[in-house]
Copies of this chain bind each other. A is one copy, B any other.
């Protein structure tokens, strides 16, 4: 593979270049095959020679390039480079893609790519189909986000938009919940199909600007009584417990 192309692909590690080109990389055989089967537009598959059989029986409309292990290592973001990756065009969802009759998970300033990816994977597992991210959240096509979703990014409408704009529209028809250290224990809530659930930043929780929109504060009980304990839960863990309870 030409050096210029490797340089181009390496630039996709940076948000700026992903945003300008509308392209990103999907790494690893499971995620690449799932992307090829999806309605996302794969522009090119790059693979090492020994991975060729993985594509047997697939009808592909995109370029397939065989690269060396060394080239794969240069292009990959992972500590252990994959044997296969795909160059994919980003599908962008906008505010009008959010459905009022479906539940909405709202992420306020989630910064850790592992957390965002894991939240998308968990939401997909529990049957959620749409997520609203504040513009300050980590970007969806960040390689670590994509990796942590384990393919679930393909099935989720993830919209980046100023949260108050959307919350203002939803507040008349949807109950808006927010997770806090103090609130009604989540197992006491009787969630409905089009509820809205806000999860806050890893360190600072839900921002003050969103508090007027919250109709009910909820919390996850600790059950560790009368002793020192963890001060908080990881953001993706807290989200998972609320989503589980939502559907329970």
A contacts, CB < 8 Å to B: 114, 118, 121-122, 124-127, 148, 150-152, 155, 187, 220-225, 227-234, 236-237, 240-241, 244, 247-248
Contact = CB atoms under 8 A, between A and B. Distances in A.
Best-surrounded residue of A220, A224, A232 (most CB of chain B within 10 A): A224
A170 to B, nearest CB: 22
Given A155-B228, A234-B118, A234-B121, A126 B222 contact: yes
A56 to B, nearest CB: 22
Given A122-B233, A150-B231, A222 B127 contact: yes
A50 B222 CA distance: 35
A126 B244 contact: no
Chain A interface main SS type:
loop
8 contacts: A114-B114, A121-B230, A124-B229, A124-B230, A126-B223, A151-B231, A237-B237, A241-B244
Given A229-B155, A236-B237, A241-B241, A224 B125 contact: yes
A220 B152 CA distance: 17
B122 A234 contact: yes
Nearest to A126: B223
A248 B222 CA distance: 10
B225 A127 contact: yes
B248 A125 contact: no
A222 B127 CA distance: 7
Contacts of A237: 118, 121-122, 236-237, 240
Contacts of A152: 229-230
Contacts of A229: 124-125, 127, 152, 155
